[in-house]
Structures are given as C-alpha cells and as structure tokens.
Chain A
Amino acid sequence: MDRSTDAQIVERVLRGDAELYAELVQRYRDRYARYALHMLGNREDAEEALQDAFTRAYRSLARCEDPERFGAWLFRILVNRCRTMGARRGRRLRTFVSDDLALYEAAEDHPAERNAWREEIERALGRLRPEQREAFLLKYVEELGYDEISRLTGAGVSALKMRVMRACDRLRELLSDVVDDREVREERGLPEVNDARHT
C-alpha cells in the first residue's frame, strides 16, 4: 500500500500518473460504498453511483481545491450522485435482497439472525423520505456535524435537525415489530404494561 498522503497522490495523478488513482479508489471505496448502499438500497445502484463519483472526481481532479481533503470532496460528489440517482429512480422499488448482504463483512455471530435484522433495517430505511434518509445517514452513520451536513447538502441546520428527528420517529414506527417493546417504552419514559391476561 502506498503511504503517500492524498494530496501527494493527487499531485502525481495530475502530473500524468493515472495508474496511481487506483490507490485513492482503494482508500475510499469501502467507506463510501456503505453510504451509497444505504442511500440507494441495492448493490447495483450503489456500485454505479460510487463508480460514477470516482470517475467524475478523476475528470475534475484539477478542480479539487484542497487535495488534502480529497476524501471529503469525493464524498460530496457521491452525495450528489446518490441524490440524482435516487430522485431519477424514485419510482423504482428499492430492491434490497439477500445478495446485497454479501457486501457486508461476514457476521461473526448468528449470521441468519443478523441478516434478518439488516434486511428489516434496510427495508425501513427505504421507506423514509429521501431527504430524511440522507440526513439520518449523514448524522448518525457517517457521524458528520450538522454544520458539515448543511454545507454538503445545502439545507439549513434547523431543517436538517427536523429531518433527522422525523427519520428516527419513522424508523421506530417501522421497526416496532422487531424492536423490543420494552426498549421503546424505556426510551419514551412510559410505564411497563401490567397485562393481567398473562398473569
């Protein structure tokens, strides 16, 4: 593995060493494939969006103003590609199937249960409004701050907070069948149900 910084690699690629771009692809493909997969809901679209982002980034590499932050710049391109693809394919059903799970690293414990849980989550994610899904993933999965998300998406911070809150509410609603009822009650500060029928 090349230990050069992103900026050094960008500089060499811009001097004509196109093969070195493969190093940047390897550095960022897995990290960003996760976002594309969750955002678009299936492997095929995620790979297409990610590939498109990498090739657009290569074409525009000379316009990358801060090569040290190549990863952040690439991610911005990817977020836009996912938005565009998601909007254009909005009518297409998200087709998250078991095959897509192959993208995940192998689960070390209870693989069948784990896969079922993942599928439930992906299904619920797919039923969120795109802007809510985007805000939720950027905030909690990619762990970006609201200011950074705002710069990335063009949406205001208060609007983003609202989207994240609604996404959480909706996910809780959609996953209510698989989430332990006690967990939900504890979180909401509700008392436990004392159901006499079971006593």
Chain B
Amino acid sequence: MWIQRVIAELRRPVRMDDEFDRNVMSVVRSLPRHRYGTWARALRPRTITVRPLLPSVAAVFLLAVALSLGHAIGTLRAARRTRTRSDVAADRAASARVTTRRAVQFVLVAPTARKVQVVGDFNDWDASHDEFRAEHRGGGVWSVTAAVPEGNHRYSFVVDDSLWVVDPTAPRVIDDNYGMPNSALLVEGGDAGR
C-alpha cells in the first residue's frame, strides 16, 4: 500500500551530530544552575492560574504559603549542612517568583473566525490553554478575560488554529528572535492595562 511506503520512509531515523549537543550545552551552561534539593522541589512554589475574580486574595495567599515554605526549606537545609549566603539568596528569589496575576480582557473583532485563542509569553505561546480561549460575543466580537502575571508581555491572537493576528488596539513590538510583530502588553499592579 503506497501510504505504508510513505510512512516507512518518514519513520526512518534522523541523526543529529555532536555539534548540536555542544550548542545546547553551551546555552545550558550560560543559564543559572538549578539548586533544588528533593524536598525543595516537592515543596517548591508553583505558578498556578487563578480565577480572574479572585486574583488579589489568591495571590497574597500563595505568596504567604510560598514564603513560609521557602523559610521551612531553609531551616531544614541549615540543619543538614552549612549554607552559603548565595544559596539563601537563590531560595528567596525562587520563592519571590510567585508573581501576582491580574485579570486582563483580550478582544478581537474577527467576523469569519471559528476559533480565537490568545497566546503569549505568559502561556509559553501554547494555544491549548482553555483559559485563554476567546468566546464569541456576537457581531464578530471575540473576547476572553484571563489572569496574566504583572509585567511586560508579548502576545498575539491565533485564529482558527493557524492564522496569527496582532491586536490592532495594542502597540506592536518586533520579536527579537523571529523578526515578526507581536502585540505589547503591560500588566501593572492595581489596574491591568494594555
């Protein structure tokens, strides 16, 4: 059967050379080393998505829990071995990485679209997150309100799983890696703004 021949050909192994490994490891070495032990990893602060209506309360709660865990981990480690100041600083920085999220409304007018999704650096450009999937509100207007961490972000709309569309109402920025335009988003403490 012809399709079996096509599949068999596509399944043939591909081999990367050792230079690829060297390139990856060169980037890895330039990044900060992980410093999680077993317990710290199990109890590490996690970034989770919170409901847009409860961002402040949930964020404060999470921050408190994370800081407590960071302190507990520090105490555990101190009992086992002498710690350096840089270790302590690294753990505290990890705890502080639980960022506050703010509710942001994304709106796109796309009368012929069947599906609209928001992707950005806040969801790793992954179009499979349901919380960033826009609903059709009628008249070709699609919108979604989602929790986004405070800070500067880049994002785009993905229409019908294939077409990338910048937000016509937001400032554009050129992606350094790919030379393509995205929309800029600044989420500030207090009120979220675009």
* Contact partners of A175 in chain B: CB under 8 A: 2, 6
Q: Determine whether A85 belongs to the interface, using a CB cutoff of 8 Å to chain B.
A: yes
B116-128 to A contact mask, C-beta < 8 Å, 1/0: 0001000011111
- 0/1 string, A70-107, CB within 8 A of B gives 1: 00000001001001110111000000000000011100
B46 at the interface (CB under 8 A from A): yes
* Alpha-carbon gap, A13 to B12, bound state (A): 31
For residue A58, CB closer than 8 A to chain B, the reply is yes
| Residue among B13, B24, B25, B162 with max Cβ neighbours from chain A (10 Å) | B24
Interface secondary structure of A, over-half rule:
helix
Contact at A83–B21, with CB atoms within 8 Å? no
**A18 B33 Cβ-Cβ under 8 A:** yes
Check if B15 sits within 8 Å of A104, measured CB to CB.
yes
Nearest chain B CB to A75's CB is how many angstroms away?
13
Chain B residues near A16 (CB-CB < 8 A): 33-35
Q: Does the CB pair B34–A61 fall under 8 Å?
A: yes
| Docked-complex contact B9 and A117, CB < 8 angstroms | yes
What string of 1s and 0s marks CB contacts (under 8 Å) between A29-62 and chain B?
Answer: 1100110011000000001001100111011011
Interchain CA distance A187-B4 in the complex, whole Å: 11
B41 at the interface (CB under 8 A from A): yes
- Pick the contact of B28 from A38, A58, A180, A186 — CB < 8 Å? A58
What separation, in Å, do the CA atoms of A171 and B23 have in the docked complex?
Answer: 35
Contact check, A30 vs B6: say whether CB atoms are below 8 A apart.
no
Cβ–Cβ < 8 Å partners of A26 in chain B: 21
Given A22-B21, A183-B2, A47 contacting B178 (CB threshold 8 A): no
B189 beta carbon closer than 8 Å to chain A: no
Number of interface residues of A (CB under 8 A): 63
What is the size, in residues, of chain B's interface with A at 8 Å between Cβ atoms? 47
Query: Is there a chain A Cβ closer than 8 Å to B14's Cβ?
Result: yes
Q: Which residues does chain A contribute within 8 Å of B61, judged by CB atoms?
A: none
B36 touching A47, Cβ below 8 Å: no
A83 vs B127: C-alpha distance when bound (angstroms): 9
By the criterion CB–CB under 8 Å, are A33 and B128 in contact?
no
Which of A14, A88, A172 lies in contact with B34, CB distance below 8 A? A14
Q: Which of A130-154 contact B (CB under 8 A)?
A: 130-131, 137, 140-141, 152-154
Q: Does A110 contact B (CB under 8 A)?
A: no
By beta carbon, the residue of chain B nearest A23 is B21
Q: A25 at interface (Cβ–Cβ under 8 A)?
A: yes
With beta carbons under 8 angstroms apart, the residue of A58, A89, A155, A183 that contacts B161 is: A155
A-B contact pairs, 21 of them (CB 8 A): A11-B41, A15-B35, A16-B34, A34-B11, A47-B16, A55-B27, A55-B31, A58-B28, A59-B31, A87-B158, A87-B162, A88-B175, A103-B14, A104-B14, A117-B9, A130-B162, A137-B10, A153-B128, A171-B6, A179-B2, A187-B1
Smallest CB-CB A-B distances: 10 pairs: A154-B128, A34-B14, A179-B2, A14-B36, A14-B34, A183-B2, A141-B10, A33-B14, A29-B16, A88-B180
Starting from the known contacts A51-B20, A104-B14, A187-B3, 19 additional A-B residue pairs (CB-CB under 8 Å) come to A14-B36, A15-B34, A22-B24, A29-B20, A29-B24, A37-B14, A38-B10, A50-B16, A54-B24, A55-B24, A58-B31, A88-B178, A104-B13, A105-B12, A125-B10, A137-B10, A175-B2, A180-B2, A183-B2
